[in-house]
Amino acid sequence: MLKRKVRKVQKKRTISRRKSDEKGDLQAQKKRTQRFYRLVSGDIGIFEAVDEDCPQDDPRRKKKPSGAWLDKSENNFGDAISFWTEGGLRRYAKSRLLEWHASVVAEKITVIIIKKPSKVLYEDKFQIVVDPESIGKQKKQVLGAFLSEKGIII
């Protein structure tokens, strides 16, 4: 009976060591499977759609929330496109900028969901800027269903 208990304790120790050894691998795996989000109106990015559908002299711009929290890179990345990080998406919604954008664009908004691409040109805590050619498999979801699934209320 005593030998059985000792073996069980030894097994538990072995299992717990394995889990702790894999912790680093789990964090690396989490980074690889991290999701990024791009909002598009029709087939163009949400910020470009807002510029087209709500010109600078449009009175609706008076109600636009501040986007000063979003870092703007001084680099020109040409045809590169940007995606929100999970934290960036939540900040975008919390700032009410998402709600305002949705109210001024003409076409319905779709969310493009991707895994981290191989070629990231710029990255901060809110967004990544990537070469469109480096984007792999994409998932598309209508904005309302996406926000509901994420538990984000605008």
What are the residue boundaries of the structural domains of the chain, listed by start?
1-31, 34-150
> Of 62, 54, 121, 125, nearest to 88 (Cα)?
125
pLDDT at 91: 95
Coil, strand or helix: which one is 50? Answer: helix
Residue 17: predicted pLDDT: 46
At residue 152, the pLDDT reads 85
Tokens of 16: 């717990």
Comparing CA positions, the residue from 30, 142, 127 lying closest to residue 86 is: 127
Residues 103-116 have a mean pLDDT of 95
Given a cut of 80, is residue 19 above it in pLDDT? no
154 pLDDT tier (thresholds 50, 70, 90): confident
Cβ(77)–Cβ(83) under 8 Å?
Answer: no
Q: Is the pLDDT of residue 9 over 70?
A: no
Tokens 């501040």 belong to: 66
pLDDT single digits (tens) 48-76: 999 999 999 999 999 999 989 888 777 78
Q: Helix or strand or coil: residue 58?
A: coil
